[in-house]
Chains A and B, each alone.
Chain A
Amino acid sequence: MQRDGTLDARGLMCPMPIVQLARRVKEMKTGQVLELLADDIGAKEDVPAWCSRTGNELVGTEEEGKILKFYIKMK
């Protein structure tokens, strides 16, 4: 999927992927898509919850083995 940046949160457990995501988002512009890589299984529910709470759009998810990929469009 097309992306404007990648945040690698592999190896980090809850709540660190979300904390790093919140930080990174501040550097992105409206409409840009951020790819988030995570292997914390909690992220499967956490990332969509974060998106719906913050109003950023989760435009896609992929799973590659144990790696979860999330594509988030900035509001």
Chain B
Amino acid sequence: MWYLCVFYHRLLDYRRPEVQSLAELFGGPGAGDAVEWRMPENHHADSPFHLVRLPGDESLAAQIANRSLLVKGIYELWGHGATYEELEKAVREYPEERKLPYLTPESTFKIVVDSFGKVISFPEQNEIIKSLTYIPFKGRVNLKKPDHKFFVMETDDYGCNNGLPPVVQRTTFFGREVGAADRHLLPTYQLKSRKYIGPTAMDAEMAFLMANQGLARPGKLVYDPFVGTGSILVAAAHFGAMTMGADIDIRVVRDGRGPDCNIWSNFEQYKLPEPLCVLRADNNVPPWRPGLKEIFDAIICDPPYGVRAGGRKSGGRKLIKGTVAPYTVPDEKRDSHIPSTAPYSLAECVHDLLHLAARMLVMGGRLVFFFPVVREDGVTNLAKYPEHPCFKLIATCEQILSMRYSRVLLTMVKVGPYTEVVEKAAQERHREFRENHHKWMEEGNLHSAVFSPAAGQAADGKPFIDRDSKPKYRGKYV
């Protein structure tokens, strides 16, 4: 059935993939691919109003909307039009048998007037509600807990200079709410009230979106190989998944900032089941037993890509550089020895991540991670995303972070089994990375691309900023 799906006007690239992932989660395998989209006539692609065809019955649509973060509401659309007259005509033509069950005398209802890109005053809202007398409401009004919620929504020609997607024509929608997002989660989980956070803790809304992309739910095992303060696993645990995490930095995973401020306390704070395991391990030299594979249902992570936090791998930076000859740690110092680590290039880090996922994800399991992309002159370069024979890329969602770079949330599904051929190829590549450590550290060094002076700088060293006084449509910046 087709519904009207209205989104919050933020994280535009993340909106449709989230709905599709949740369709897969609640509707079973293949349901995500069965979702179809259309834009209402004359609507810009970034408009919050989308028409969506969901498989299954209405309860699936409700489940999707209720679990999502970006769906403001999914509605059974009774009619729409450019004017209120057109709307009336459309609603009158909508089949009676679809309308009457929701208009019965014993039910309670509420009508909400909503708008996008404009404000409708209370008296105007009342006028609009009064104009709906052509709908035979028989039930009683209940504003607090109605059985049925009806929405009148309109978007007007508000001009094109207020930073919103341009509107070609005014549209008015009337629909019955099927489900809506529960964004109460966000104040509960916001980072500013979380006990233990680090410089790269994942924002709560994004962490929930990632957990949705990873299809986190009870009975599933989610792994984060760069767990840090656990912000992604908190979101996965909120949705009922079992969690495991690893990090190379023992101070973060074991010590935190004291006995009441560490990874475990973050889970305690929200009364969530704590992770099954947090271990200190290096993703470059993973400690998995031989023969172990296909155990995680999702791997969800934010790899260190060298802009805000640089990756480290074991092996000793001087040893890898070749500035010291191979040495052995004396036995009497072994217990207190702090292992030396070397910087970890993004390319190698991503390679190891894909290999880990190929081996450790179940078939159909999901790998969800951020990948950085450089931008020039405020435009994102067409990026080549990492590829792997075991994986199919199903969603790319860009979030613009600055004029110089974006991060893209990649969602991949494991479609091919982990075979000896795949394993051999990965070992070969691993050796190549180790032998050409320098070359890889220099290539694709994102840090310099992001922080080096821009070409557009003026002679006095002040950055050249194009200050346009009119607010422009900002697209994916929202």
Chain A complexes with chain B = no
Q: Interface residues, chain B, CB within 8 Å of chain A? A: none
